């Protein structure tokens, strides 16, 4: 029996994302890593590097793709308070590949 991935990246994915969605639902890799950094700050954890974060995503079955000139994670959307805090802290509008684009924003 295969063991589920563990560690801070897996914990972040379990707590802050919804997976297994349509490939039209996607989150930009840079935004997902930014949300992970905020989650680590709140949990008082040292974040892993972006390379290690990407590796952890792959170990959890999430593989990046390119769309509109950026790396995205299809079928994976953030949930909970972390994405809201990320938008407030970065003052960054949602990406064309981000979850808000599915609603015409």
Assess whether pLDDT exceeds 60 at residue 99.
Answer: no
Q: What is the pLDDT of residues 28-76, one digit of tens each?
A: 999 999 999 999 999 999 999 999 999 999 999 999 999 888 999 999 9
CA 21 to chain CA centroid, Å, is: 13
Quote the tokens at residue 22.
């349509």
Contact between 49 and 30 (Cβ < 8 Å): no
The pLDDT value given to residue 98: 55
Q: What is the pLDDT of residues 48-60, one digit of tens each?
A: 999 999 999 999 9
């Amino acid at each position: 029996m295969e063991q589920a991935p563990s560690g801070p990246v897996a914990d972040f994915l379990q707590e802050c994302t919804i997976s297994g969605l349509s490939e039209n639902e996607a989150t930009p890799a840079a935004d997902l890593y930014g949300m992970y950094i905020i989650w680590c700050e709140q949990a008082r954890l040292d974040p892993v590097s972006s390379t290690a974060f990407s590796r952890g995503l792959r170990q959890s079955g999430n593989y990046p793709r390119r769309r509109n000139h950026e790396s995205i994670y299809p079928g994976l959307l953030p949930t909970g308070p972390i994405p809201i805090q990320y938008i407030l802290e970065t003052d960054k509008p949602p990406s064309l590949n981000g979850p808000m684009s599915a609603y015409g924003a």
